Amino acid sequence: MSTVNAPVPTDPRLDSRVGSETGSSTPASPKRSGLGGRVWWRHALGLVALAWALFPILFIWSAATNPSGTLNTASLWPSGFSTANFNTLFSDTSRPFWTWYKNSMIISFVGAIGAVFIGACAAFAFSRLRFKGRRGGMMFLLLTTFFPALLAIVAMYIIFAGISDALPSFGLNTLTGLILAYLGGALGANVWLLKGYFDTVPRELDEAAIVDGASHVRIFFTMTLRLVMPILVTVFMLVFVGLYGEFMLASVFLTDVDTQTLGVGLYGMTLGNNANELFGPFAAGALLGSIPVMLLYLAFQKQLVGGLTTGSVK
């Protein structure tokens, strides 16, 4: 993981290499040529790539601030600025946008905290303790990641319908039920990521603590967890972002409008005959709903990207 973001070692001979690659025959210049010179075409193509990457986002902004608020009047370039769509969205009592927002936040936050705790405990056992079936256990966890829980969604639905009968507060149509269902997949891929980082913490520290008389609980909670904080943050972000965007289980579990998540709620706005009129408010909701995840990505780019690509680049 560390090498993913490592700076490129600059070699003076590199410039001539790049120069010949770009078809230049001029001798290598010792100083970088910056914006001008031979890289202008890279900037030109880069701008094309940016246009491709950003035009749908520009469209969301235009549609959200479009004064008339329908799909047929939405254009790529903003046609004026209006908060009418936001007002429509917030005042629609049959579509409680802020409740959806709150539900999404609760589910993602609690689910991510739970997943980090479960994963960190398991990673500690796999990294620090020696027991029979350790290797087999890691293999088994890797195997389970090939089979996403959503394949068993029919059974999940029927199981939680049964739980609804006995324990309505943990069943369908509750946030707790959905969080429990998500926690079923909390082991698995995360443990590999976590264990890899746990392994980098020197075992000598543990041994010193044991000599000092610390129990395994004390080592785990007061020492190891602090030393591995960066990976805990990374896993928290990854799980948070994943749960925030999850749609399938949420759409099956949450049928009451007051328990729905942003994804399920906004999806409902694009259905039916008035989808055209609702497009402006929908875009406003989509814009607001994207903000938490976008901010997380921009603020924790390195961790998130590092976490996503771990294992590939050594």
Partner 1 sequence: MTKPIALAIKWVLIIATLAGILWIAAKLAAAGNVTAVVIAGLVGMGILAVYATRRAVPLKYLVPGLIFMALFQLFPVLYTANLSLTNYGDGHLNTKEQSISDIIAQSVREVPNTPRYKMSVATKEGDSVTTGDLVLLLTKPDGSTFVGDKTGLKPLDAAGVEKTPVGKITKAPGYSILNARQVNARKDLQSLAVPTSDGGGVKPVGLSEAFEGKSSVSYDAKADRLTDTSTQPPTVYEPRDARWVNTADASQSFPQGWKEGIGLSNYTRILTDDTIRSGFIKIFIWNVVFAVVSVLSTFLLGMLIALLFNDPRLRGKAIYRSLLILPYALPGFVTALVWKGMFNQDYGIINQTLGLSIDWLGTDFGAKAAILITNLWLGFPYMFIVCTGALQSIPQDVREAATIDGANAFRTLRSIIMPLLLVAVGPLLLASFAFNFNNFGLIYLLTKGGPFSGVDTSIGSSDLLITYAYRLAFSGTAPNYGFAAAVSVVIFLLVALMSIPGFRRTKALEEVN
Which tokens go with 212?
């000092």
**Residue 105 engages partner 1 in binding (rule: CB under 8 A):** no
User: Which tokens sit at 11?
Assistant: 């070699």
Among 24, 68, 71, 176, binds partner 1 (CB under 8 A): 71
Check residue 293 for interaction with partner 1 (CB under 8 A).
yes
- The secondary structure of the chain in percent helix, strand, coil, rounded to multiples of 5, reads 70, 0, 30
Side chain identity, residue 231: I
Dig out the tokens for 77 from the structure: 């370039």
Determine if 173 is a binding residue for partner 1 (CB under 8 A). yes
Tokens of 191: 């443990």
Instruction: Provide the minimum distance between the beta carbon of 2 and partner 1 in the complex, in angstroms, as a whole number.
Output: 10
DSSP assignment string, 218-242: HIIIIIIHHHTHHHHHHHHHHHHHH
Q: Contacting partner 1 (CB under 8 A), which of 67, 87, 98, 167?
A: 167
Near partner 1 in 2-61, by CB under 8 A: 3-6, 8-11, 13-15, 17-18, 20-22, 32-35, 37-39, 42-43, 45-46, 49-50, 52-54, 56-57, 59-60
Check if the beta carbon of residue 251 is closer than 8 Å to that of residue 235: no
| Half-sphere exposure (Cβ direction) of 73: Cα atoms closer than 13 Å | 14
Q: Which of residues 201-260 bind partner 1 (CB under 8 A)?
A: 213, 215-218, 220, 244-248, 252, 255-256
113 binds partner 1 (CB under 8 A): no
Question: What count of other Cβ atoms lies within 10 Å of the Cβ of residue 306?
Answer: 20
Q: Is 134 in the site for partner 1 (CB under 8 A)?
A: yes
From candidates 69, 263, 281, 307, binder to partner 1 by CB under 8 A = 263
The region of 87-95, 203-211, 226-234, 275-283 touching partner 1 under the rule CB under 8 A is: 275-283
